[in-house]
């Protein structure tokens, strides 16, 4: 690949490009023919000013715009040039519509995606991130749609090979499509550990199960008196994970991400350094997408996800930040007692209440559509039931402000520690990602550790009866702690 930057000018000038008229025969040739042009000038309706995009030798896009709207419009356009098929599947995964293009094997996953999607007030959702989030999302998704039109227009290169082979076309994007909760669920999976605890208690009893788990700090599992835990186990929720095939790792391998901060006293530049090792699921293409965004008020580079605007973790000219994943208690399973005379009723402190039912229609590739009744108790969606009991999930993703990494739209514009501290509040309902900043203006880095959405008795078994009344604490009670690193010749790590 040519190591010189390649300029792509998204402007209002017409570019006439000639493409070969003969259909390539090999898959490699077909894939090459469908690549989006990354050299020269493109006429892209929707921009207000010319935008310049440089591709470095690694293919990373450096986007220079004259205003915020055009910056994120161009980011959406460029991300779609690189990752459109991945982005379309990501969007459908959050909508619960994968079965439409992948067939019946994806139906159960679609059902769970619709159970877990955000059902709250949209203005509260947008306001949770930054005041201009909705406008940024609209510009970003307009840019994605502009790239799709560019690909499919007369004389365009056509859709990427993946769409040709899979036999479907991408659909238009809206801002709501970026509010996908599936990533949040994957980072808050302690519902499975609660079921493991339940299985142990059912087999060994409370005291022996607590001893076997050897929790730190030491706690005793405390299921509600009279709970019927028989048959509860993590495999009941197997449809919530992408695969039930596990890769075994050595038993001494600890779970957790890492952030390494080095004092400016130990660096050549005199400025602190941050090295981040965030853990996510293994995927191809990668879940990460590196981009550089420059416009008035913006100069940030780092990694995000292709279906989201901005940079999730990276640095601007003053602040660098990364993420670690903590195993916080951000999901509570409620063991609901069903009415034997009326299975759509469940017990509450005030008597029997009726389960709320939402009927959803699922289209399935290669088969007729299927209608499914989704059930909800006052605690949340019902993930499993056996006619006598039901497991309802109460989790952070049902609340505003828990989509992906959109809180970074505020963090990326922080110019000093005080602004970062305020903007970090945009992550205050985020899942168990904890921002770790590094300020370039001082020699001593600070580790920012924050209690995200957690229950009052973290680590305890929480598959409870509906009458227990125990659940997640109010977000205002979560604490923030700034920790200055000790003077040392050795780096520090947080887990």
Question: Which comes out higher in pLDDT, residue 101 or 486?
Answer: 101
Residue 447: pLDDT band by 50, 70, 90 thresholds? very low
Reported as a pLDDT band with limits 50, 70 and 90, residue 242 is low
CATH 3.60.20.10 residue window(s) in the chain: 258-328+400-453+475-494
The span from the CA of 240 to the CA of 107, in Å, is: 11
- Asked if pLDDT for residue 408 goes beyond 50, the answer is yes
Q: CB neighbours (10 Å) of residue 422?
A: 12
Mean pLDDT of 128-142: 95
Which pLDDT tens digit goes with each residue over 159-213?
999 999 999 999 999 999 999 888 778 777 788 888 888 898 889 888 888 888 8
| Paired residues of 446 in beta bridges | 484
Contacts with 246 (C-beta within 8 Å, 6 or more apart), sequence order: none
The more confident residue out of 479 and 153 is 153
Instruction: Judge whether residue 19 has pLDDT over 70.
Output: no
Band of the pLDDT at 73, cuts 50, 70, 90? very high
What b/e sequence results for 398-415 when a residue is b if at least 16 CB atoms lie within 10 Å of its CB, and e otherwise? bbbbbbbbbbbbbbbbbe
Q: Which tokens go with 138?
A: 């609209």
pTM value?
0.82
Helix (H), strand (E) at residue 277: strand 273-277
Residue 257: active-site member? yes
* Residues of each domain in the chain carrying CATH 1.10.439.10: 6-94+120-168
State the CB neighbour count (10 A cutoff) for residue 474.
7
**Is pLDDT above 60 for 463?**
no
Quote the pLDDT of residue 132: 94
Top-level class of domain 6-94+120-168: mainly alpha
pLDDT > 70? residue 61: yes
Which position among 257, 423, 432, 468 bears the catalytic label? 257
Q: Report the DSSP pairing between strands 40-43 and 6-11.
A: parallel
Class of 258-328+400-453+475-494 per CATH? alpha beta
Kindly give, in sequence order, each residue whose CB lies less than 8 Å from that of residue 251, ignoring residues fewer than 6 positions away.
none
Mean pLDDT for the chain?
79
Helix, strand, coil abundance in the chain, percent, nearest 5: 30, 25, 45
Q: Locate the DSSP E strands across 289-444.
A: 289-295, 298-304, 313-315, 319-325, 331-339, 342-348, 351-354, 356-364, 367-377, 380-385, 389-395, 433-439
Most confidently modeled range among 61-65, 225-229, 250-254: 61-65
Residue found by looking up tokens 């055009």 in the block = 70
Mean pLDDT (whole number) for 8-16:
37
Q: Which single residue is written with the structure tokens 């991945």?
A: 86
Judged by phi (left if over 0) then psi (alpha if -120 to 50, else beta), residue 297 lies in: left
Structure tokens at 386: 């056996």
């Amino acid at each position: 690949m040519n190591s010189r930057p390649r300029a792509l000018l998204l402007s209002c000038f017409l570019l006439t490009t000639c493409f070969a008229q003969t259909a390539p025969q090999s898959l490699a040739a077909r894939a090459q023919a469908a690549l989006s042009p990354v050299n020269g000038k493109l006429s892209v309706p929707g921009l207000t000013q010319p935008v310049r995009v440089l591709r470095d030798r690694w293919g990373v896009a450096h986007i220079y715009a004259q205003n915020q709207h055009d910056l994120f419009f161009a980011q959406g356009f460029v991300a779609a040039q690189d990752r459109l098929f991945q982005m379309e599947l990501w969007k459908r995964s959050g909508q619960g519509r994968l079965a439409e293009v992948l067939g019946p094997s994806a139906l159960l996953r679609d059902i769970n995606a619709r159970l877990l999607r955000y059902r709250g007030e949209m203005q509260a959702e947008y306001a949770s991130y930054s005041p201009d989030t909705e406008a940024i999302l609209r510009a970003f998704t307009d840019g994605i749609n502009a790239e799709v039109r560019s690909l499919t227009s007369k004389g365009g290169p056509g859709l990427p090979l993946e769409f040709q082979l899979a036999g479907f076309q991408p659909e238009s994007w809206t801002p709501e499509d970026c509010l996908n909760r599936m990533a949040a669920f994957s980072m808050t999976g302690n519902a499975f550990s609660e079921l493991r605890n339940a299985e142990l208690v059912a087999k060994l009893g409370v005291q022996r199960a607590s001893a076997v788990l050897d929790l730190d700090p030491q706690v005793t599992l405390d299921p509600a008196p009279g709970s019927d835990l028989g048959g509860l186990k993590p495999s009941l929720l197997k449809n919530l994970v992408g695969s039930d095939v596990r890769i075994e790792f050595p038993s001494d391998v600890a779970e957790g991400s890492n952030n390494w901060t080095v004092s400016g006293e130990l660096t050549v530049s005199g400025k602190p350094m941050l090295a981040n090792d965030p853990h996510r699921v293994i995927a191809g293409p990668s879940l990460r997408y590196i981009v550089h965004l420059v416009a008035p008020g913006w100069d940030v580079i780092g990694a995000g996800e292709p279906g989201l605007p901005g940079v999730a973790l990276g640095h601007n000219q003053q602040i660098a930040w990364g993420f670690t994943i903590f195993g916080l208690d951000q999901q509570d399973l409620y063991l609901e007692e069903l009415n034997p005379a009326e299975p759509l009723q469940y017990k509450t402190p005030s008597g029997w209440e009726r389960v709320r039912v939402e009927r959803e229609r699922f289209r399935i590739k290669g088969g007729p559509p299927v209608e499914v009744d989704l059930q909800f108790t006052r605690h949340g969606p019902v993930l499993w039931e056996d006619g006598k009991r039901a497991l309802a999930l109460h989790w952070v993703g049902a609340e505003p402000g828990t989509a992906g990494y959109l809180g970074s739209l505020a963090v990326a514009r922080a110019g000093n520690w005080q602004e970062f501290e305020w903007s970090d509040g945009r992550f205050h309902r985020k899942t168990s990602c904890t921002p770790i900043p590094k300020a370039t203006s001082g020699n001593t880095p600070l580790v920012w550790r924050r209690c995200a959405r957690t229950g009052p008795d973290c680590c305890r078994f929480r598959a409870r009866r509906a009458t227990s009344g125990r659940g997640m604490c109010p977000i205002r009670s979560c604490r923030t702690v700034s920790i200055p690193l000790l003077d040392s010749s050795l780096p520090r790590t947080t887990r």
